[in-house]
Structure 1
């Protein structure tokens, strides 16, 4: 049953065709929780690709929904700023009394300096070191899955694998690693959406995160440099003198970037293969398609639905006048389904030509730092799945997150039938 103030998915889908174009508000978290946003974005791409929403729970904003327009906004960093002083990188403004600077929410040169401090974690030598570790952990998690009974893939596989890697990147105490998952969820949660009840609770839990990591910082700053993220920040000239809120902001950026995005692609990939069983058959017949399938999964899933910029001055864009101070929201989830760029975009096509032609990692200056690490994790997970199992069955529609930012899942019920378990690998 839906609460009285929450329309059903069918009602939301019907409204997409009936609403006047100027009344469409794609910033409603319920649209994403009920997977009902697709026809809204299809209309905007056709009828108003640069669209102004005058009223939403997050205030007025522009929606950029076409692939080429998103790239243009990303590239024009002078007009379209990500600096936290304008409100941040999400549709929801950062609160004035709880501002969290982070390098993704900075303009050059500060952005470049702070990003460089942690760049080595995804360098070639680091990825080579991590590959065997990721594989061993994937093997352990997959070998421990129950056979012949239903279980939640999100908890048993997606969260566990990404949290283990995140703990390694931070050299975080292993026994407490699930606190990273909680802080990741809290960082992007909307009060009342099932994660936190109030903004005060959200702030309190994030301060706990800061306090915990401050203890780790104090240990690392007084020790020789190491190859974990905390040590890298503690020993870099660009970040060693950052304020506590700067530190918390960068921590949350790395936690969310290293957790939410990959975990939802691990879940989304299995869900998509069940939605498109012919593609699953294609994969089972040719496991060598995994490297091509991985970026296609990331496109199809689009684990972060949007990024936001703020106009620094009045600017004419595609026949619209965007005013200084206006929010400009780049909907990656729409650009990744732009029919003018990606044919048959609603389908997962695991042997798609040019599968890396997607926007899930952003474009230009703020392209995702962890792109190669995400590819590595997903490739290894699917290589190890295919060694062990045939078809893993999704039993029900997933439960999705109440968020316009993280496009993710809380539950995906699955079952591995005994006859789908390979006896030798």
Structure 2
């Protein structure tokens, strides 16, 4: 965002102390960046006293976010004190209490994370690569060239849902349930996904019942499978989880395997349409896919924020955050910090340090599946470049109404051979 754009922005007409960057409408309209730009410039550690989610602190600069994200001793992720999302209902709604290893602090966090990490070990990624590529090829080969269609549903959702079904060894013909449960997990009433917290609870209980059936089948297997449910069922750290941890960890893995990749698959197409010179670079040198992938993950920032709760009074950026305060790290803002990233509003596919971004978080909670996400995006673009001269975005995408998932509901495109 250039200075002229900010000077003309409605974000300047709001009194600084009234700015509420948690408002989902700002994400739907794609104007949230204007408010973040003002906060980074005028009040990078910003207190919002009134919002739909109660009072909270916004951390908007790259280095300040790093400082909070890597200090789990002071800034807690525990579900019992608030969890990782600004909306407290994400871990507590209508009697449904959720806890997962991402909403734990060490040492509990470390043992459970270690249980599932083999699924994304380099040796297993080599095994998965062949399956991912075959599925990419099948889906892309079925797409209509020269006709309008929705990229989100036909490519991004379908590819990530197939991958999720593989990781869980979930019934393949029922794989779209995984997408639905992922959407429900991060939704709030009024988002267009659920109408009430009661509906959310009911659907997540259906999810729990479905996965419990699979768990019961695999927990008694003499030879554990190489899937996430089997890993959880046979690990000493997770095999005796209480129900709220079982469901919490299942949903964490569903959302983690879905939203990051799914929305960056769509965001990558949008980005290369907005920066056509970068697309020409890519077509001239396909090897640039290697640096384009982490750069587009930065540019998209598929999860807009992570939340922490202060366990003691602590100073960040010259402001004193009090014990018990809600602290929101806006990754979407940090990835646009001019003091940390050169020309951050632009997509530059051959950046010297393309992985200098916050999209996967830092510290003990850094995304466990980051390499799998990158591999899927890399294969997608290798296969696109082998088939099509252009993926044309026909109009602005419809965005998800969420301040957490920075994503897309619909994006019409046309393929050119």
TM-score interval (norm. to shorter):
over 0.9
| Alpha carbons 1:401, 1:410 under 8 Å: kept | yes
Selected match of 1:91 from 80, 86, 89: 86
| Aligned counterpart, 2:186 | 188
| Alpha carbons 2:64, 2:316 under 8 Å: kept | no
Selected match of 2:13 from 18, 27, 35: 18
Q: CA deviation at 1:335?
A: 0.3
Q: How far apart in 2 are the matches of 1:344 and 1:102?
A: 37
Q: How far apart in 1 are the matches of 2:315 and 2:392?
A: 50
| Alpha carbons 1:190, 1:402 under 8 Å: kept | no
Q: CA deviation at 1:14?
A: 4.0
Q: CA deviation at 1:298?
A: 0.2
Selected match of 2:30 from 19, 31, 35: 35
SS at match of 1:167: helix
| Aligned counterpart, 2:166 | 168
| Aligned counterpart, 1:226 | 225
SS at match of 2:97: coil
Q: How far apart in 1 are the matches of 2:392 and 2:319?
A: 47
Q: How far apart in 2 are the matches of 1:169 and 1:163?
A: 10
Q: After superposition, give the CA deviation of every residue in 1:269-319 in whole Å (9 maximum; x if it has no partner).
A: 000000111111111111110011000010000000000000011112222
SS at match of 1:142: helix
Q: How far apart in 1 are the matches of 2:230 and 2:214?
A: 9
Structure 1 segments of 4+ aligned residues over 6 angstroms from their partners: none
Selected match of 1:116 from 114, 117, 124: 114
SS at match of 1:220: helix
After TM superposition, the structure 1 stretch with the greater mean CA deviation from structure 2, 90-99 or 361-370, is 90-99
State how 1:389-400 maps to structure 2 within 5 Å. Answer: 389-400=388-399
Q: CA deviation at 1:353?
A: 1.2
Selected match of 1:144 from 133, 142, 159: 142
Q: How far apart in 2 are the matches of 1:18 and 1:399?
A: 26
Q: How far apart in 2 are the matches of 1:232 and 1:301?
A: 31
State how 1:209-358 maps to structure 2 within 5 Å. Answer: 209-223=207-221, 224-358=223-357
| Alpha carbons 2:9, 2:34 under 8 Å: kept | no
State how 1:353-392 maps to structure 2 within 5 Å. Answer: 353-392=352-391
Q: After superposition, give the CA deviation of every residue in 1:233-275 in whole Å (9 maximum; x if it has no partner).
A: 0000000000111111001100000011100000000000001
Q: How far apart in 1 are the matches of 2:322 and 2:281?
A: 49
| Aligned counterpart, 1:135 | 133
Number of positions where the alignment pairs a residue of Structure 1 with one of Structure 2: 407
Selected match of 2:68 from 61, 70, 73: 73
After TM superposition, the structure 1 stretch with the greater mean CA deviation from structure 2, 179-188 or 308-317, is 308-317
Q: CA deviation at 1:75?
A: 1.2
RMSD: 1.0
| Aligned counterpart, 1:59 | 54
Unaligned runs of 5+ residues in structure 2 are none
Q: CA deviation at 1:69?
A: 0.3
SS at match of 2:64: helix
| Aligned counterpart, 2:176 | 178
SS at match of 1:119: helix
SS at match of 1:62: strand
- Does 1:49 find its partner at 2:31? no
| Aligned counterpart, 2:404 | 405
Q: How far apart in 2 are the matches of 1:128 and 1:14?
A: 47
Q: How far apart in 1 are the matches of 2:361 and 2:213?
A: 33
| Alpha carbons 1:134, 1:377 under 8 Å: kept | yes
Q: CA deviation at 1:179?
A: 0.3
SS at match of 2:338: coil
SS at match of 1:416: strand
After TM superposition, the structure 1 stretch with the greater mean CA deviation from structure 2, 263-272 or 278-287, is 278-287
> If the length of structure 1 is used for normalisation, what is the TM-score?
0.95
State how 1:198-213 maps to structure 2 within 5 Å. Answer: 198-213=196-211
Q: How far apart in 1 are the matches of 2:92 and 2:112?
A: 23
Q: After superposition, give the CA deviation of every residue in 1:393-414 in whole Å (9 maximum; x if it has no partner).
A: 1000000000000000011100
SS at match of 2:30: coil
Q: How far apart in 2 are the matches of 1:342 and 1:313?
A: 31
Q: CA deviation at 1:110?
A: 0.3
Q: How far apart in 2 are the matches of 1:239 and 1:181?
A: 24
| Aligned counterpart, 2:413 | 414
SS at match of 1:392: strand
